Structure 1
Amino acid sequence: MPANRRRRVDEGTGSGPSSPLWMTTYGDLITQILIFFVLLYSLSSIDTRKFDMAMTSLQGSLGILQGGKTYFKGDFIESGTGQNYVGEQEKTELEKIGNEIEKIIESNNLKGIRVDMDERGLMIRFLEGALFDSGKADIKEESKKVLDKIAPILKESNHHIRVEGHTDNVPIHTKEFPSNWELSTTRAVNVVRYFIEMHGIDPKKVSAAGYGEYRPIAPNDSEKNRALNRRVDIIILKSSYEKQEPN
């Protein structure tokens, strides 16, 4: 048998199954891409989230995984994973702000102020005596010093700031405040105005609301509990709640 004939026969009747040539090229390409990203990840200081998003998007575009990519405000976002990352990042940011404010409270021995995280964001709670005299809506002079200390932190934050006024259920009937609605709303507005006029906080990022007696945090069945309900809450809102604020 001629040598060239024998060579063609041997190539076509090998001991193992043959693969199309394009699969070899495709496999080499995927391997090289994987090596590239592994080296990039190990040798560089990169944003882990962006790396994961880029890998997911690349895999989708090559057909390795079903689906594709979404582009939102300059970042790749994978459904679920991206949102979780943003939520954790935002929580960490708000907790850092809370720690800064708590240090101010402790170092200045301030009373009647609490800092907590809730579902809406970071809440700074002022019980009535911390900012206002009973039945009044003018911020006390000594209390302005407290607002002066936290205002720069609020101004630096990119989040929307919501100030809410609350009262107990004891009716008020004065010329200035015919009901608890007016008292709670005026208190919230006065805090907002102080931040804007005295500290230059952007008016677009702050809002005021008065709820009167209708959002208590304790039953109005004792003086101690009623004192808890007479409060002003300053809330640094999470981005998911900022969408509810008017533009």
Structure 2
Amino acid sequence: MRAPIRRKRGGASELWQTAYIDLMTNIMIFFVIFWSLSQAQSKGISETVGDVSTRMVNLPGDVLFRPGQTQLSPEGQAVFARLFQEDADSTLNFKTNGLVKRVLFIHGHTDNQGQKDKNFVLGFERAMATYKQIAQYGKDVPDHVVVCSHADNLPAHDVPKIDGPVSSFQKAAMDQANAKNRRIQIEDRLINQFKEEP
């Protein structure tokens, strides 16, 4: 009699799951980039003189960072590589007409969970990690960046305030609002260099 054949654990089943996870990750990255670029205006610097935000891009924090972490995830690094790697010469070109200075404001936003002071630190460290990642693509970036933290003081979506027991639907709505608030916001602003004194 022959002994029964034992199948190795893993194999095709785990390969399929790994390929599926990789595919979903790439789809998510593509969606984030497409969504971000759809919010942005056309490339180039406006010749408008004054303090004007020419472009504002919101990137979901849950894609860029693991929960509670301040280092960019591999997916987050891939997002910035696709945004800046091939087109850094025009995207990170800070030359202007001399009357204005182009500045990137990197805003780190958190949700309202936990202590406010810790959220300020978390928001700042995430914005700082974003700055360091972008700085890899342009040597002039350090002279044209302001890093900010908001700790849910400027939420993208208000979280419903509910007294008493919370239903599963209400919890899902609260989780969705908090997820929207956890974000990195990159504001492209032109600042007037020669303001008239009052």
Relative distance call for 1:137 and 1:243 in structure 2 (3 A) is: farther
Does 2:53 correspond to 1:110?
no
Does 2:140 correspond to 1:140?
no
Mapped to 2, the partners of 1:162 and 1:144 lie a distance apart of 19
| Secondary structure class of the residue paired with 2:147 | strand
Counterpart of 1:156? Answer: 93
Unaligned runs of 5+ in 1: 1-105
Q: In 2, are the aligned partners of 1:160 and 1:236 still within 8 Å (CA)? A: yes
Counterpart of 2:56? Answer: 123
Unaligned runs of 5+ in 2: 1-26, 42-51, 96-101, 161-173
Mapped to 2, the partners of 1:197 and 1:123 lie a distance apart of 20
* TM-score normalised to structure 1 length: 0.47
The one-letter amino acid of 1:223's match is D
Does 2:133 correspond to 1:194?
yes
The one-letter amino acid of 1:228's match is K
Does 2:119 correspond to 1:180?
yes
Mapped to 2, the partners of 1:132 and 1:199 lie a distance apart of 22
Counterpart of 1:227? Answer: 179
Counterpart of 1:165? Answer: 108
Structure 1 residue 199 displacement after superposition? 4.0
Q: Percent identity?
A: 17
Point out the structure with max Rg over C-alpha. 1
Mapped to 2, the partners of 1:213 and 1:141 lie a distance apart of 25
* TM-score normalised to structure 2 length: 0.58
Relative distance call for 1:201 and 1:180 in structure 2 (3 A) is: same
Structure 1 residue 198 displacement after superposition? 5.2
Relative distance call for 1:145 and 1:243 in structure 2 (3 A) is: farther
The one-letter amino acid of 1:182's match is V
Does 2:155 correspond to 1:216?
yes
Relative distance call for 1:180 and 1:243 in structure 2 (3 A) is: farther
Mapped to 2, the partners of 1:243 and 1:205 lie a distance apart of 17
Mapped to 2, the partners of 1:219 and 1:243 lie a distance apart of 38
Structure 1 residue 134 displacement after superposition? 1.6
Mapped to 2, the partners of 1:187 and 1:157 lie a distance apart of 23
Q: How many residues align?
A: 134
Q: In 1, are the aligned partners of 2:55 and 2:187 still within 8 Å (CA)? A: yes
Following TM superposition, the consecutive aligned residue runs of length 4 or more in structure 1 with deviations greater than 3 angstroms are none
Structure 1 residue 146 displacement after superposition? 1.7
| CA deviation string 1:201-247 (max 9, x = no partner) | 4311112111111111211221111111110001111345x889xxx
Counterpart of 1:42? Answer: none
Structure 1 residue 168 displacement after superposition? 1.0
Q: In 2, are the aligned partners of 1:161 and 1:235 still within 8 Å (CA)? A: yes
Mapped to 2, the partners of 1:172 and 1:110 lie a distance apart of 32
